[in-house]
Amino acid sequence: MKRIALFPGTFDPITIGHVNIIERALPLFDEIVVGIGNNSSKSTLFSIEQRQQWIYDIFKNEPSVKAMSYEGLTVTFCEKINAQYILRGIRTMADFDYEKNIAQMNKIIHPQTETVFLMCDPAYTPISSSVVRDLIRNNGDTSQFLPKEITW
Find the catalytic residue in 2, 3, 42, 60: 42
pLDDT at 151: 87
Q: Where are the domains of the chain?
A: 4-137
Is 130 a catalytic site residue?
A: no
Per-residue pLDDT of the chain (152 residues; tens, 9 = 90+): 999 999 999 999 999 999 999 999 999 999 999 999 997 777 899 999 999 999 999 999 999 999 999 999 999 999 999 999 999 999 999 999 999 999 999 999 999 999 999 999 999 999 999 999 999 999 999 999 999 999 87
Task: Give pLDDT, residue 46.
Answer: 96
What is the per-residue pLDDT for 76? 97
18 as an active site residue: the answer is yes
Instruction: Choose which CATH entry (3.90.330.10, 3.40.640.10, 3.40.50.620, 2.60.120.260) describes domain 4-137.
Output: 3.40.50.620
- Catalytic site residue from 47, 64, 128, 129: 129
Q: Three-class SS string for the chain?
A: CCCEEEEEECCCCCCHHHHHHHHHHHHHCCEEEEEEECCCCCCCCCCHHHHHHHHHHHCCCCCCEEEEEECCCHHHHHHHHCCCEEEEEECCHHHHHHHHHHHHHHHHHCCCCEEEEEECCHHHCCCCHHHHHHHHHCCCCCCCCCCCCCCC
Q: Which of 51, 88, 91, 133 is catalytic?
A: 91
Q: Catalytic: which of 18, 51, 88, 133?
A: 18
